[in-house]
Amino acid sequence: MRTQVVIIGAGPAGLLLSHLLRLAGVASVVLESRSREHCEQRIRAGVLEQGTVDTLTQAGLGSRMQREGLVHHGIELLFERTRHRIDLTALTGGRAITVYGQHEVVRDMIAAAIDHQQPLYFDVSAVSLHDLTTDKPWVQFTHEGIAQRIDCEFIAGCDGFHGISRDSIPAAALQTFERIYPYAWLGILAHAAPTCDELVYAHHERGFALFSMRSPELTRLYLQCRPDEDLAQWPDQRVWAELHARFDNADGWLPAIGEIAQKGVTPMRSFVCEPMQYGRLFLAGDAAHIVPPTGAKGMNLAVADVRVLSKALAAHYRDGRDDLLAAYSSTCLARVWRAEHFSYFMTNMLHPSFDDTPFVNRLKLSELRYVARSDAAARMLAENYVGLPFDD
């Protein structure tokens, strides 16, 4: 086989890149090690920035999102038993967020790829990348028991933190930055109608908690826990009791109790590799960077990356320009580090530390009070939360 761009990974980054390239007249092939069913059913966070919503809509991928997504104009911070609303829309000139599951975004993009007959291979194995520093890279893989080779001109590594793309770059060519947090999230998906129209971030002396939703019938909730938490020690009754304790407030609001359909522990880490390109290989999304989920930036950063990459590849093929490709890493990393800092800020402020001094936890409460009472601090949070505008 021969194509212009081989995309490794059929997550949001890889699938969106293939659509953007198609719209620009650039041919691509997507390779994914998992099954289609796995990709479509893998539940991940679903808070979409305004820019992500606009990008999906402009690419012709937003019709179901527009019908079923839940548009939120604010979030709530709950601390010291009091709820404080941050008006995202008023503070950002009309921007908002949309709650729409990542797996739903993936389903929409896979369906569109099939409709447009985009080459998309699931269940591939033994993927290897070759001749990355030449103008004729190639990819070898096995599909349905048959070893195959694709000759191409560029490779996009969109295969996540544990994928093969980043590992295909010599260690000496990369610099990595990482922070492992001393806590994790115990998350549940419950068959219960959401009792609040917006996300509620709760700081409590017992630990952080987050109220979110996936649909008018499904509530998504999280509890701060240890990274090595044993789920067997968390029967449903204990989960609900702890959630209600951490969400306790003077208004009497609480999430509704329902059947728990899913339960799991999510570790917390920040990670960035520099540069995000090596020869003809370009990394995007989780292959290049990880953020803790507190700031809701993971998928949104992936979308930002492939916007930049698709425009750079389009300029290469349409205009013979390579300056945008040369600047890909520095362009993306400016936004990545801003998102890393915001995610760190949200995570640090909202999670009480049990390994630190009472002094540090008092500082966190002071910061929460400042954000809740200062228009300038609230605007900073709102601007970053809804996503900074793209600089095209």
> What is the CATH classification number for the domain harbouring 23?
3.50.50.60
> Half-sphere exposure of residue 229, counting CA atoms within 13 Å on the CB side?
22
Q: What is the pLDDT of residue 41?
A: 85
| Catalytic residue from among 100, 181, 183, 201 | 201
244 as an active site residue: the answer is: no
- Each residue's pLDDT, cut to its tens digit, for the chain (392 residues) gives 999 999 999 999 999 999 999 999 999 999 999 999 999 988 776 899 999 999 999 999 999 999 999 999 999 999 999 999 999 999 999 999 999 989 999 999 999 999 999 999 999 999 999 999 999 999 999 999 999 999 999 999 999 999 999 999 999 999 999 999 999 999 999 999 999 999 999 999 999 999 999 889 999 999 999 999 999 999 999 999 999 999 999 999 999 999 999 999 999 999 999 999 999 999 999 999 999 999 999 999 999 999 999 999 999 999 999 999 999 999 999 999 999 999 999 999 999 988 778 999 999 999 999 999 999 999 999 999 999 999 87
Q: What is the pLDDT of residue 214?
A: 86
129 and 53 within one domain: yes
Burial class (CB in 10 A: 0-12, 13-18, 19+), 97: buried
Rounded Cα distance, 251 and 83, in Å: 8
In a domain, 79, yes or no: no
Rounded Cα distance, 101 and 22, in Å: 24
In a domain, 332, yes or no: yes
14 and 26 within one domain: yes
72 as an active site residue: the answer is: yes
100 as an active site residue: the answer is: no
167 and 19 within one domain: yes
| Contact call for residues 83 and 77 (beta carbons, < 8 A) | yes
In a domain, 85, yes or no: no
Rounded Cα distance, 224 and 181, in Å: 11
CA distances to 219, 220, 301 from 255, rounded to whole Å, are 8, 10, 30
Nearest of 291, 261, 266 to residue 186 by alpha carbon: 266
362 and 227 within one domain: yes
| Catalytic residue from among 73, 293, 352, 364 | 293
Rg over alpha carbons for the chain, rounded to the nearest Å, is: 21
Q: What is the CATH number of the domain that holds 251?
A: 3.30.9.10
Nearest of 43, 106, 102 to residue 262 by alpha carbon: 43
In a domain, 27, yes or no: yes
| Contact call for residues 117 and 130 (beta carbons, < 8 A) | no
216 as an active site residue: the answer is: no
Nearest of 331, 224, 240 to residue 277 by alpha carbon: 331
Q: What is the pLDDT of residue 357?
A: 82
In a domain, 391, yes or no: no
Rounded Cα distance, 127 and 125, in Å: 5
| Catalytic residue from among 73, 203, 297, 364 | 297
Q: How many domains does the chain have?
A: 2
Q: What are phi and psi of 186, to 5 degrees?
A: -90, 115
Tokens standing for 6?
């081989």
In a domain, 152, yes or no: yes
140 and 50 within one domain: yes
CA distances to 50, 51, 52 from 389, rounded to whole Å, are 8, 7, 10
The domain in which residue 59 lies consists of 5-72+97-177+269-350
> What sign results for the dihedral spanned by CA atoms 210, 223, 188, 297?
positive
Rounded Cα distance, 92 and 109, in Å: 29
| Catalytic residue from among 19, 72, 203, 204 | 72
242 and 257 within one domain: yes
In a domain, 111, yes or no: yes
CA 305 to chain centre: 12
201 as an active site residue: the answer is: yes
